[in-house]
A and B are shown apart, each in its own frame.
Chain A
């Protein structure tokens, strides 16, 4: 009796699901969407606070977020991330000029005229102050540590521009020079005292910050001026779940591709502090609607910078807490020395600690586990690596140049290091799955595509590609094979005539390379007939 009931329920479920499948098309007329239509009014969103300590504990010990690694939830039908309040396609979808790279998110020139100190920065580890310039704009001013002049400010400016080029929302971060005689303390400026109570700010409080900062020979201070983000601050976002008060936030963050793929960019740029505390949601008005914009901020701990000192050797190599190496080190009385401790670094104070010889992107780790990174799959990393591949050597040179290091060794070393790390990132993650990109089907039925790994110079051409054609019924989601697997040695193939009657066709493409077994994973491209021929409407790199 029990078995019969269960069976009946399952049959009912199957029928219902089956009928649903039949009615839900795989492709809608507006697919692939280029922009996620976040149409709901989010004006009722409230400011939230996230405990940094809880974030560390939760992600280190409680395994936060979804456990199931499935395909990213927010991608469009061609496996790309549509523009949204989280992400804007830039270098990933079009060529950017060097000027665009260098300008980044900046819309002005940084703070101007006399600066009025309005407060002392209490968040974060970097000493700083807040100022209002002559135009009334508010900036967060961060200083370089005395041991490493130019390091933190240079790293933050460079990384901000690169993260902007990748597509993330970031603040306008400027390099600027502060002179004490160009400052005044604003009437009503306050700061937190030792006990966390607000009290009036005095000159000696400013001097206490300056005392800890690297100072130039002419008495000025090179600083990072971070312009206040537009909109109302709403607190950090978490790397899992959704904001329950934001109607537009429907995709669990750990299933957002741009957050999963963030591990690739972070590994390249050694952004070890990629966590909630270094994010900020803001309520902004877009197209007349209140929407929550999700920003990444605080890139002071990137490249070789650890913000207040050179980056720690552990950064990128091990979580703050990892049981295995800890136990081994304890039990061997310290005779076991973690290999990353012995990695040599150049003595260039403006660089800090970053290197490329020991770096292995697939082993790179942030300070503590990140739920989106944990669920990051080969297709997510491939997507991000494709964006990294689009950042040219000239762009890297130009962006590093914006760090304006006085020591030419710093610029040279950073460029060289980033280029080597870039190549390793591409080799690891463009080869981690089928690297076929940009499939296109001409009106005459000629299929063409590129190989991202070959194009990036991190692999040789495959021995062959194999392609299998199908008609595709969008209503029933059914494939009808019209050819057996056909082998080609070039990245082009002629479709069989039998497919031309269909409104949708699909090509199942695999690449075969003895050194890259993951290339043989099937990639399926879908094309929709249009009056002019065929348009790519779907792409599944890893179903």
Chain B
């Protein structure tokens, strides 16, 4: 009660004080000036609150640019060429433009919680002809300790899941021309040295315990390969990181030559078509992707199992685990109906269809693996930075997929 009385007394005192100041004046101007003179006695700098202070520091220091600068030592979520299924990973290293921005060097190391590793060195002249031409060379070492394998073909069994280790050293040179905006033509030439070993995921058997070289061609011996890629791309998406209109088409031809064992050489062709059809001012988008990869072994050669294309996982048929189906040829289709809930969130209903086959002619539209589900995509106008997809329909349960990147 005393607190109440004291409080009311303070209010009264405040009124007296305030009015006392006002009463002393004879004019409006004097009244206002007196109020200002009173304030002048209590001036203090603006003091932002705690959250605003933090955000001001973020604005000023731009911590993302600090830890992942264009030039300098960097640390990033994820790393270059990080494979699907490798889990949360981080990369870091050093990168810098050289010779007055005529050249660029990148040195990078990456690792995931599943112990996937990358070492990479890249030197390039990326800004030739005003950025229209790029040449470069890259050396990488990949360590994939637990890639999944279920056997080959569309009838492989979930229960046959095993895992294997794949190490790969690669050196390649590249030349890329960008004759006009959205058009890219290029080639890569390189050598690689893959090496297969026992998988390190103890939750599943290692591959060699369940499969032999017939079930997993290339298991017993891995030669060095020389390879040549020729590729072209047309890209007229409005925002590549969060496309709402336009299209993206790529075609890649690859020749993998096994000059050591002459047993595993092959050619492959990969075609990818993405189309984004907007309605209602891009607030609704039908997004469609078709992707086909065919391989063509040289003479009596085989495509090694670790180079065979796969479907399943967050970027293909989402009701299945990563790498669930694997064979020489794959095709899959994704159709998404996306709608903007608000400018920071898109939702999507999706369906995926796909299959694998030993020969291109065996890719059977009548027997497609399928998925359907719903997705939440948190985005800016330019990029999807997080997505959560719930997928089912494949007969292997419900998949809850989170990724810090777009589907396509």
A5 closest partner in B (C-beta): B5
The stretch that binds A, out of B31-39, B83-91, B296-304, is B31-39
Interface size on B, residues (CB 8 A): 59
A243 touches B46 (CB 8 A): yes
B1-35 vs A: 1/0 string, CB under 8 Å? 10011001101100110010011011111011101
Q: Is B343 an interface residue (CB 8 A)?
A: yes
Q: Is A438 an interface residue (CB 8 A)?
A: no
Q: Is A320 an interface residue (CB 8 A)?
A: yes
B55 touches A54 (CB 8 A): yes
CA distance A416 to B155 in the complex (A): 67
A residues less than 8 Å from B8 (CB atoms): 6, 9-10, 13
B71 touches A322 (CB 8 A): no
A51 touches B46 (CB 8 A): no
CA distance A44 to B45 in the complex (A): 9
Q: Is A40 an interface residue (CB 8 A)?
A: yes
CA distance A211 to B107 in the complex (A): 31
Q: A250-B39, A329-B339 are in contact. Are A313 and B56 (CB under 8 A)?
A: no
B44 closest partner in A (C-beta): A244
**A466 CB to nearest chain B CB (Å):** 31
B residues less than 8 Å from A177 (CB atoms): none
B55 touches A53 (CB 8 A): yes
A25-66 vs B: 1/0 string, CB under 8 Å? 000111101001111110010101101111001100000000
A332 closest partner in B (C-beta): B339
A residues less than 8 Å from B283 (CB atoms): 334, 337-338, 341
Q: A28-B28, A193-B71 are in contact. Are A247 and B15 (CB under 8 A)?
A: no
CA distance A484 to B342 in the complex (A): 57
**B27 CB to nearest chain A CB (Å):** 5
Q: Is A2 an interface residue (CB 8 A)?
A: yes
A residues less than 8 Å from B71 (CB atoms): 193-195
Q: Is A279 an interface residue (CB 8 A)?
A: no
A336 closest partner in B (C-beta): B339
A54 touches B56 (CB 8 A): yes
A51 touches B55 (CB 8 A): yes
CA distance A33 to B36 in the complex (A): 16
Q: Is B59 an interface residue (CB 8 A)?
A: yes
A9 touches B45 (CB 8 A): no
Q: A6-B5, A245-B44, A334-B339 are in contact. Are A36 and B32 (CB under 8 A)?
A: yes
A195 touches B65 (CB 8 A): yes
Q: A247-B40, A250-B36, A334-B284 are in contact. Are A194 and B11 (CB under 8 A)?
A: no
Q: Is B75 an interface residue (CB 8 A)?
A: no
B65 touches A40 (CB 8 A): no
Q: Is A475 an interface residue (CB 8 A)?
A: no
Q: Is A20 an interface residue (CB 8 A)?
A: yes
A residues less than 8 Å from B23 (CB atoms): 20, 23-24
For the side of the interface on A, what is the size category? 35 or more
CA distance A39 to B40 in the complex (A): 11
Q: Is A330 an interface residue (CB 8 A)?
A: yes
CA distance A40 to B34 in the complex (A): 10
A250 touches B343 (CB 8 A): no
Q: Is B281 an interface residue (CB 8 A)?
A: yes
Q: Is B347 an interface residue (CB 8 A)?
A: yes
Q: Is B396 an interface residue (CB 8 A)?
A: no
B residues less than 8 Å from A29 (CB atoms): 26-27
B residues less than 8 Å from A313 (CB atoms): 281
CA distance A320 to B5 in the complex (A): 46
B71 closest partner in A (C-beta): A195
A residues less than 8 Å from B12 (CB atoms): 9, 12-13, 16
A313 closest partner in B (C-beta): B281
B281 touches A329 (CB 8 A): no
B280 touches A341 (CB 8 A): yes
A244 touches B45 (CB 8 A): yes
B36 touches A53 (CB 8 A): no
Q: Is B215 an interface residue (CB 8 A)?
A: no
CA distance A44 to B40 in the complex (A): 10
Known: A23-B19, A321-B343, A338-B283. 12 other contacts (CB 8 A): A13-B12, A23-B23, A36-B32, A38-B36, A51-B58, A53-B59, A195-B70, A244-B46, A250-B36, A321-B344, A330-B347, A341-B280
Give B residues with C-beta under 8 Å from A. 1, 4-5, 8-9, 11-12, 15-16, 19, 22-23, 25-29, 31-33, 35-37, 39-40, 43-48, 51-52, 55-56, 58-60, 62, 65-66, 69-72, 280-281, 283-284, 337, 339-345, 347, 349
Give me 15 A-to-B residue pairs in the complex whose CB atoms sit less than 8 angstroms apart, sorted by A's number: A9-B8, A20-B22, A24-B22, A33-B29, A36-B32, A41-B40, A49-B60, A51-B56, A51-B58, A54-B55, A54-B56, A245-B43, A330-B341, A333-B339, A334-B284
The 8 A-B residue pairs with the shortest CB-CB distance, nearest first, are: A334-B339, A247-B40, A20-B19, A194-B70, A195-B69, A51-B55, A9-B8, A28-B28
